[in-house]
């Protein structure tokens, strides 16, 4: 997770006291918004930005505790489907279910999301963690930003107030990686030094109050630019491929040399009539020392997954998930460049 920071002085330390402290049926839920493509991106066939919410969602699913066979712990992947091709959705479903053991469900309105959350009560389950990956504006999480269903996909104060605290585990957390969920005023470029950000009027605070669950959110715009790695990761990729290839060549050479040595050793022992005899002045080859690091291998796995899916599917789906998480953007200045915690009042 992005480094977390407490808000001081504008949220209460009090929590609800009527919930059961510990649940034996816990859900970890990722919610992925729909993503539009700009005209330029469509003309150029650039689909990286369109895939950022999905790839971040897969990363988050991977980071959750593993699902248990008896479903006492569940990973759940929810996705708003507007403007995502069916073949892409089918591939995402296969990845999250088969590879990560997660439950997959599609959403086509904000009411579907609210129903799913509040149905935890009927199912006698509790949400332990929930993460939103989406566009956002001050006062709203935009699961369908600039798409035809923008209005029916929007999470605002009215929808936040429909959340039932009984659906959430005591000690649960909600994270919003949508832009400015934690800001209470419609600041664009800067919050002045003498200006109140009105955190207590932010959507993050409203969600916390309704769900009786702490919410972590950005008061700034969120930045998904490291979904495919930062500048250092991208610069290191070519070298990582070369090191992995060199290690493979060295390992193949070593295995061949060891095979030839052992054949000579068997023949020598046969001629000597001694099963313990050693070849004079010759020893078994030493395995090569790998030059590729774990980070090298990780970067190549991510890149290979995106390249293969770009070729076969038409989208850079990263089945490993995003390389790095979402970080705070540059604007508005005057508020912290980190996730802030909003405790329920």
pLDDT exceeds cutoff 90 at 20: no
Instruction: Judge whether 296 lies within some domain.
Output: yes
* pLDDT > 70: percent of the chain: 93
Cα 325 from Cα 131, distance rounded (Å): 12
Instruction: Judge whether 70 lies within some domain.
Output: yes
Map tokens 């919003």 to a residue. 176
pLDDT at 37: 85
pLDDT tens-digit readout, 245-295: 999 999 999 999 999 999 999 999 999 999 999 999 999 999 999 999 999
- Whether residues 222 and 236 share a domain: the answer is no
pLDDT exceeds cutoff 60 at 161: yes
- Whether residues 147 and 243 share a domain: the answer is no
- Whether residues 216 and 290 share a domain: the answer is no
pLDDT tens-digit readout, 97-147: 999 999 999 999 999 999 999 999 999 999 999 999 999 999 999 999 999
**pLDDT, mean of residues 69-85:** 96
- Whether residues 219 and 89 share a domain: the answer is yes
**pLDDT, mean of residues 42-68:** 94
Instruction: Judge whether 317 lies within some domain.
Output: no
pLDDT at 11: 40
Cα 53 from Cα 315, distance rounded (Å): 13
Q: Which of 7-21, 191-205, 275-289, 316-330 has the lowest mean pLDDT?
A: 7-21
- Whether residues 285 and 194 share a domain: the answer is no
pLDDT at 5: 42
pLDDT exceeds cutoff 80 at 196: yes
Instruction: Judge whether 133 lies within some domain.
Output: yes
Instruction: Judge whether 193 lies within some domain.
Output: yes
State the average pLDDT for the chain: 93
Indicate the pLDDT class of residue 34, thresholds 50, 70 and 90.
very high
- Domains identified in the chain, total number: 2
**pLDDT, mean of residues 80-102:** 98
Instruction: Judge whether 37 lies within some domain.
Output: yes
Instruction: Judge whether 189 lies within some domain.
Output: yes
pTM above threshold 0.75: yes
pLDDT exceeds cutoff 90 at 19: no
pLDDT exceeds cutoff 50 at 6: no
pLDDT at 43: 79
Indicate the pLDDT class of residue 16, thresholds 50, 70 and 90.
very low
- Whether residues 104 and 244 share a domain: the answer is no
Token pair, residue 185, equals: 């005023």
Contact predicate 162/119, CB 8 Å = no
- Whether residues 164 and 253 share a domain: the answer is no
3-state secondary structure the chain: CCCEEECCCCCCCCCCCCCCCCCCCEEEEEEECCCCCCHHHHHHCCCCCCCHHHHHHHHHHHHCCCCCCCCCEEEEEEEECCCCCHHHHHHHHHHHHHHCCCEEEEECCHHHHHHHHHHHHHCCCEEEEEEEECEEECCEEECCCCCCCCCCCEECHHHHCCCCHHHEEEEEEEEECCCCCCCCCCCCCECCCCCCCCHHHCHHHHHHHHHCCCEEECCCCEECCCCCCCHHHHHHHHHHHHHHHHHHHHHHHHHHHHHHHHHHHHHHHHHHCCCCCCCCCCCCCCCCCCCCCHHHHHHHHHHHHHHHHHHHCCCCCCCCCCCCCCEECCCCECCCCCEEEECCC
- Whether residues 11 and 113 share a domain: the answer is yes
pLDDT at 2: 38
**pLDDT, mean of residues 87-103:** 98
Domain membership of residue 248 as a residue range? 232-312
- Whether residues 111 and 160 share a domain: the answer is yes
- Whether residues 277 and 192 share a domain: the answer is no
Instruction: Judge whether 66 lies within some domain.
Output: yes
- Whether residues 27 and 95 share a domain: the answer is yes
- Whether residues 100 and 244 share a domain: the answer is no
């Amino acid at each position: 997770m992005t480094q977390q920071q407490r808000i001081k002085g504008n949220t209460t330390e009090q929590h609800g006291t009527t919930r059961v402290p510990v649940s034996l049926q816990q859900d970890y839920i990722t919610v992925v918004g729909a993503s539009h493509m700009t005209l330029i991106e469509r003309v150029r066939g650039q689909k990286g930005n369109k895939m950022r919410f999905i790839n971040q969602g897969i990363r988050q699913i991977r980071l959750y505790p593993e699902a248990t066979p008896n479903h006492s712990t569940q990973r759940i992947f929810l996705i708003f489907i507007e403007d995502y091709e069916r073949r892409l959705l089918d591939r995402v479903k296969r990845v999250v279910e088969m590879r990560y053991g997660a439950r997959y469900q599609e959403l086509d309105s904000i009411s579907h999301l609210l129903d799913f959350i509040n149905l935890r009560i009927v199912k006698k389950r509790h949400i332990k963690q929930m993460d939103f990956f989406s566009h956002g504006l001050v006062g709203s999480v935009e699961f369908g930003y600039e798409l035809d269903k923008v209005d029916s996909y929007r999470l605002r104060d009215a929808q936040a107030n429909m959340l039932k605290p009984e659906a959430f585990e005591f000690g649960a957390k909600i994270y919003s990686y949508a832009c400015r969920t934690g800001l209470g005023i419609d600041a664009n470029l800067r919050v002045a030094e003498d200006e109140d950000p009105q955190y207590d009027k932010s959507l993050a605070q409203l969600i916390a109050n309704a769900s009786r669950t702490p919410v972590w959110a950005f008061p700034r715009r969120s930045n998904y630019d490291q979904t495919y790695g930062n500048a250092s990761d991208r610069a290191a990729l070519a070298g990582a491929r070369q090191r992995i290839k060199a290690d493979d060549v060295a390992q193949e050479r070593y295995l061949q040399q060891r095979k030839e040595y052992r054949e000579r050793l068997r023949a020598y022992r046969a001629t000597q009539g001694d099963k313990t005899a050693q070849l004079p002045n010759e020893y078994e080859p030493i395995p090569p020392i790998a030059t590729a690091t774990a980070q090298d291998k990780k970067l190549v796995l991510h890149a290979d997954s995106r390249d293969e899916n770009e070729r076969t599917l038409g989208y850079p789906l990263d089945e490993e998930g995003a390389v790095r998480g979402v970080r705070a953007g540059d604007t508005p200045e005057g508020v912290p460049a980190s996730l802030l915690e909003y405790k329920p009042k």
